Structure 1
């Protein structure tokens, strides 16, 4: 039997299911990017608010390009199971906040109308770094223009992606699509709409057959949309809303509302995401399939601990970074989170510029060592070969895959030239690092060690010299 509204009553009593009416009210949130992360993070926060009796937080979820996922969720009445893995075991939950769905590529007008709907109070986005395109700005502007022309109030538009100052970037992207005739619309955007910056944190691997099988066993229903996540979650959002009363509501659900999103944002990008990228690339090359497979190796765990402690933390403004670091290492090792290294390595060319260079530049400014980041960068160069150390080929799923693989092909014959060519790219490293002799020299050194002796031996060599 498939999971659906009809089958909810048959689920085991220890599975938390929606206790509210999912059909009597119109959605109050339009969410762009209906992937696993949103469904196991914000959708569960909104589910909590709905459970508390506030009917304004139902979601109209928009899949940007994937009709298959939207069709599966529609067939299940927007329901899906989430396995939440804690240190002492797991709990299953079926969030009920997803009330309607659309596909942006084929149902664009539905999305525009949803943004302009009278009931809509929020638009949230989880599109990954590469999703912030002029086309996105145009889509949002059309919905907001229709809203303004209808005489409706402004709304909160919250980016939840790994971009520094994401609210400011999103607001600028929307305004960049305005025309000379949009003067009144721009004034309305400035006075009535809010684009808060935010940081979201929860490890949510992509759906796998293993999780689907576990859902079938635990719930007794079929659910191709089942997800697995960790008990930890964090949402830090700027205290800047179209409706100021939303601050207290979100806080009641466990969201941190603050005037200082930046300190949390930079810590997550450089500690969690920066470590994730380094481990994912190492895992891809060494044939370790999951993050937990990597962090369980003592030398990789020590490398990650030192990377965060010695090269990242000195440049953070988050005061509890040591506790955050220790919690991250424990989270990385969660055995229930089969977080694929190849999933995390996806779009590395878009992610690395946000995650590594700020720490390296900080170390250079303090005349301090950046060896861990240099080795990570060397591993990224080696990753572009597209084949692991056992000779198994893998796909580079990256907007820059063509140029990366072209460089990668030259590694075996001209490794130093390959490193210089990749490090010269300002879109990846910025203007300073792309021309910094010491940085280039150390990445070249570690790349040579990785090619000659392998990733594990290079990591162990670094640890022995850093001890």
Structure 2
């Protein structure tokens, strides 16, 4: 299948394996099923040689393998398919005029995954010939679209930042105010563009060279319902929701909490010499039982008071199934980085909620206390 660039209404900033295994994969399935029409123009934004090499490979072949490996409903999944949602790939540093023309004339949605520091601007300016930062590039492109008299577009950032749409808007608005001092441009950004918060959840565990990805079966792209919003594709794992907050809290206080509690127990029980992966920890009866008892007896009873209607038991079961994925090497040592801070963010709020509802959480309290003793 060859996709024309004039149908590439989705501009994707980033060639990360996550986007290839998440957004681009959803768009590919939607296109193949005839449920949507817009393909993707990928933009490579960094100056890294390996990133440019990947972008050139993607521009040349415009399709790539996605291997899905893991467990779903107790059954092993190990499948591979070709993703065919990419109409082209541009390197921003080398092909800016082409990118700007496409952004002005064709774009309808912007998708991004620019990493942990992707919204940092530093000393960058959108007035540069090619700005260095992602917000600088985006502000420059949006200004070109505004000057051409075109309508606004929808921005669907996928960075792991709470309120990512709001934060991206604030960042771009500040750049626009500083660099252009044009109230009409600021009004266009504010009123004509949709800056939408989203939540992404999928482990894309490995790259396939030169372009491709390995992902787990589970996937979610939750998108905040917003007046005037049209979604770029139609896929069961893409959900428009009234509020992202319950989904953020569910992920933080079930999946992320469970990861950190496993680390707590792994260290506390002295099992680090023989166990290094999450799936290995789940095969150790004492660790698995400790985690299940925590979730069933302390965490879920609290969250059911705070997050009614989210079927937390099903999410717990899915989380545990993801943890025993035989194809995923998720290192406990990686999760253990910044452990005290993660405990404060993931476990402490559940303990606070429990007190409000008069519920006891002794296991949570013990883990919180052990993490506090590590500080300083």
TM-score under structure 2 normalisation? 0.78
Deviation at 1:335, TM superposition (A): 0.7
Q: In structure 2, list runs of 5 or more residues that go unmatched.
A: 122-132
As a proportion of its length, which structure holds more helix?
1
In structure 1, what is the equivalent of residue 307 of structure 2? 317
As a proportion of its length, which structure holds more strand?
2
In structure 1, what is the equivalent of residue 57 of structure 2? 75
Q: In structure 1, list runs of 5 or more residues that go unmatched.
A: 1-19, 213-222, 382-415, 422-467
Distance 1:185 1:203, change over 3 A: same
Deviation at 1:317, TM superposition (A): 1.6
Cα separation, 2, equivalents of 1:151 and 1:289: 56
In structure 1, what is the equivalent of residue 320 of structure 2? 329
Cα separation, 2, equivalents of 1:359 and 1:65: 42
Select the structure with the greater relative contact order (CA < 8 A; seq sep ≥ 6).
Answer: 2
Cα separation, 1, equivalents of 2:288 and 2:101: 46
Cα separation, 1, equivalents of 2:337 and 2:3: 35
Report the count of equivalent residues. 348
In terms of mean alpha carbon deviation, does 107-116 or 251-260 score higher?
Answer: 107-116
Q: Is the contact between residue 137 and residue 176 of structure 1 (CA under 8 Å) also seen in structure 2?
A: no
In structure 2, what is the equivalent of residue 150 of structure 1? 148
Deviation at 1:157, TM superposition (A): 0.8
Q: Is the contact between residue 171 and residue 195 of structure 1 (CA under 8 Å) also seen in structure 2?
A: yes
> Which of the numbers 238, 245, 248 marks the counterpart of 1:262?
245
2:85 equivalent to 1:100: no
In structure 2, what is the equivalent of residue 31 of structure 1? 12
In structure 2, what is the equivalent of residue 430 of structure 1? none
Deviation at 1:153, TM superposition (A): 1.4
Q: Is the contact between residue 68 and residue 214 of structure 2 (CA under 8 Å) also seen in structure 1?
A: yes
Deviation at 1:176, TM superposition (A): 2.6
Distance 1:347 1:174, change over 3 A: farther
Distance 1:275 1:30, change over 3 A: farther
Cα separation, 2, equivalents of 1:199 and 1:26: 26
Cα separation, 2, equivalents of 1:317 and 1:278: 21
RMSD, aligned CA: 3.4
> Which of the numbers 113, 126, 148 marks the counterpart of 2:100?
113
Q: Is the contact between residue 57 and residue 211 of structure 2 (CA under 8 Å) also seen in structure 1?
A: no
Distance 1:241 1:57, change over 3 A: farther
2:177 equivalent to 1:179: yes
Q: Is the contact between residue 206 and residue 215 of structure 2 (CA under 8 Å) also seen in structure 1?
A: no
Q: Is the contact between residue 10 and residue 39 of structure 2 (CA under 8 Å) also seen in structure 1?
A: yes
Counterparts of residues 150-229 of structure 1 (less than 5 Å): 150-179=148-177, 181-207=181-207, 223-229=209-215
Cα separation, 2, equivalents of 1:312 and 1:56: 40
* Deviations, residues 210-269 of structure 1 (Å, cap 9, x unaligned): xx5xxxxxxxxxx44442222222221122275x4x24x644554211212221122112
Deviation at 1:42, TM superposition (A): 0.8
Distance 1:229 1:187, change over 3 A: same
Distance 1:303 1:29, change over 3 A: farther
In structure 1, what is the equivalent of residue 28 of structure 2? 47
TM-score under structure 1 normalisation? 0.64
In structure 1, what is the equivalent of residue 220 of structure 2? 234
Counterparts of residues 341-380 of structure 1 (less than 5 Å): 341-342=332-333, 344=335, 355-366=346-357, 368-369=359-360, 371-373=362-364
